[in-house]
Amino acid sequence: MPLLSPDFYFETYAGASASFLKEQGICALVLDIDNTLEPYENARPSEGVLAWFSSLGEAGIRAAFVSNNNKERVDTFNESLGFIAYPKAKKPFAGKIKRAMREMKVTKGETLFMGDQIFTDVLAARLAGIRCALVPPIKDKTDALTRFKRWLERPIMKRYFRRKNKNV
């Protein structure tokens, strides 16, 4: 699998349903927070996110947060959930993803990472040696750097969809 290409692409986090994950042999999710589960301005998970987590929990699927955002952001978001959580993870470095996996006592094959950024999330998952799902950012920033990153991502996503269409 190419270094920057995701294994799965979902319209929203909910695409990673408990039944889909089970089918893939996945029993642990490592998750980005910002723009993957909620936009930056939402300090806490929505009802939808909480319902999704409880359906995962009922299926025996564990979850951990690995975020590049600060401790306060991650702690507040995680307050009602109490998952294993690492702020300031410095993705695309894979250290905190590996640590979350060790803490959850799961193997690489059993774990899926989900995030919204190719150059941080997908790359970090690849470097950790695990599969990765990409979602489009919930509320994208419009600054020049973000627009430039999106422009760089375009051919990667084109290739992903070309390959996927060939496989079905």
Residues at the site binding Mg ion, with contacts judged by CB under 5 A: 32, 34-35, 116
Tokens representing residue 59 in the block: 């299926």
Shortest spacing between CB 58 and Mg ion, in angstroms: 26
Task: Name the percent of the chain in helix, strand, coil, to the closest 5.
Answer: 45, 15, 40
Closer by beta carbon to Mg ion, 34 or else 110: 34
CB 120 within 8 A of CB 139: no
Q: What is the DSSP letter of 165?
A: H
Q: Which is nearer to Mg ion, 61 or 135 (CB)?
A: 135
| Residue whose pair of structure tokens reads 């993870």 in the numeric block | 89
Residue 110 or 116: the one with the smaller Cβ distance to Mg ion is 116
Under DSSP, is residue 71 helix (H, G, I), strand (E, B) or coil? helix
Give least dist CB 69 to Mg ion, A: 8
Closer of 139 and 159 to Mg ion (Cβ)? 139
Nearest to 31 by CA among 11, 51, 14, 48: 14
Whole-number Å distance between alpha carbons of 101 and 94: 11
Distances 4 to 82, 132, 133, 144, 156 between C-alpha atoms, Å: 31, 10, 11, 21, 7
Strands (E), 42-102: 62-66, 84-86
For Mg ion, which is the closer residue by CB, 36 or 111? 36
